[in-house]
Amino acid sequence: MHVGMPIGNVWEEWRPSRTTRLVSALAALGCGAIVIPLAIGIATAGTGADVSGAVGLATVFAVLAVVSAIQAFRLRLTVGPEGLIVRNFRTTQIPWSEFQDCSSGVWGIWIRRAGRRPVIALAVDKQPVAWLIEQTRADVVVTAIDGYAHQHAA
């Protein structure tokens, strides 16, 4: 399976909710807005100036900006005729021949593979208050993936 699966071969794709993507994009912009003046201050600090605190703070906000941007723009779980594609911080391809089962959890969809470590698809997580809801979005996604797996096995 290749990463750039043509759109015609995609059965279904899930991303974080629009609200999550919007909040993450705003967090990335906000953190970036904090990093820029810190970086300028560090770059223009005179010789012998103690900038270690500013460097640490800039690093923390830069990491937060990158993680927020990844959550806003990269995370997705794609199902197609060849298997699953999980895009987290890196892309993992799971052919149907390796797929065993999946379940939903607070961090995302846990996908178990034959003879390999499970993969967590961060794009669809189960909310911490899910016990209040009969069926969450994550549960719907798990049911859909199981259906596609049975369809492919037939």
pTM: 0.77
- Whether the CB-CB separation of 56 and 113 falls below 8 Å is answered with no
- Whether the CB-CB separation of 25 and 73 falls below 8 Å is answered with yes
Which sequence spans correspond to the domains of the chain? 18-73, 75-153
Kindly report which listed range (34-38, 44-48, 51-55, 109-113) carries the lowest average pLDDT score: 44-48
Distance CA(22)–CA(17), nearest Å, equals 9
pLDDT of the residue at 130: 61
- Whether the CB-CB separation of 41 and 51 falls below 8 Å is answered with yes
Q: What is the pLDDT of residues 1-40, one digit of tens each?
A: 334 444 457 889 999 988 889 999 999 999 999 999 988 8
Q: What is the pLDDT of residues 136-146, one digit of tens each?
A: 888 899 999 99
- E-assigned strand segments in the chain: 12-14, 76-80, 83-87, 91-95, 99-104, 109-113, 116-121
